[in-house]
Amino acid sequence: MTRIGVVTIGRNEGQRLIRCLKSAIALLPQDTPIIYVDSGSTDGSVAAAESLGVQVINLDMSRPFTMARGRNTGFRYLIEHFPDIKYVQFIDGDCELIPGWIEQAKETLDNDDKLAIACGRRRERFPDASIYNRLADMEWNTPVGEAKACGGDALIRVSAIREVNGYNEALICGEEPEMCIRLRQRGWKIVRIDVDMTYHDAAMLKFSQWWKRSMRGGWAVAEGAAMHGEPPERYMIRDSLSGWLWGLFLPVMALSLAWVTSGLSLLLFLGYPVLMGRVYQYRCSYGDFPSHAGLYAFFCVLYKFPQVIGQMKYWLIRWRGQQATLIEYKTSV
- Least Cα distance to 91 among 132, 36, 12 occurs for 36
pLDDT at 103: 95
* Spatial distance between the Cα atoms of 302 and 220, rounded to a whole number of angstroms: 17
Strand 154-157 to strand 85-92: parallel, antiparallel, or no bridges (unpaired)?
antiparallel
Q: Is 102 helix (H, G, I), strand (E, B) or coil?
A: helix
Q: Is 151 in contact with 94 (CB distance < 8 Å)? A: no
Sign of CA dihedral 279, 294, 307, 166: negative
DSSP for 225-260 reads HHHH-STTT-TTHHHHHHHHIIIIIHHHHHHHTTTT
Predicted confidence pLDDT, tens digits, the chain (333 residues): 678 999 999 999 989 999 999 999 999 999 999 999 999 889 899 999 999 999 999 998 888 889 999 999 999 999 999 999 999 999 999 999 999 999 999 999 999 999 999 999 999 999 999 999 999 999 999 899 999 999 999 999 999 999 999 999 999 999 999 999 999 999 999 999 999 999 999 999 999 999 999 999 999 999 999 999 999 999 999 999 999 999 999 999 999 999 999 999 999 999 999 999 999 999 999 889 999 999 999 999 999 999 999 999 999 999 999 988 888 887 655
- DSSP structural state of residue 148: S
> Domains in the chain and their CATH numbers?
3-205 (3.90.550.10), 223-320 (no CATH)
pLDDT at 332: 57
Q: Is 17 in contact with 49 (CB distance < 8 Å)? A: yes
Report phi then psi at 299, rounded to 5.
-75, -25
pLDDT at 325: 87
- Alpha carbon distance, N-terminus to C-terminus of the chain: 38
pLDDT at 300: 97
pTM of the predicted protein model? 0.92
HSE toward the beta carbon, residue 261, CA cutoff 13 A: 12
pLDDT at 324: 86
How many residues can be counted in the chain? 333
> How distant is the alpha carbon of residue 220 from its chain centre?
10
> How distant is the alpha carbon of residue 123 from its chain centre?
13
pLDDT at 323: 87
pLDDT at 333: 55
Amino acid, res. 14: G
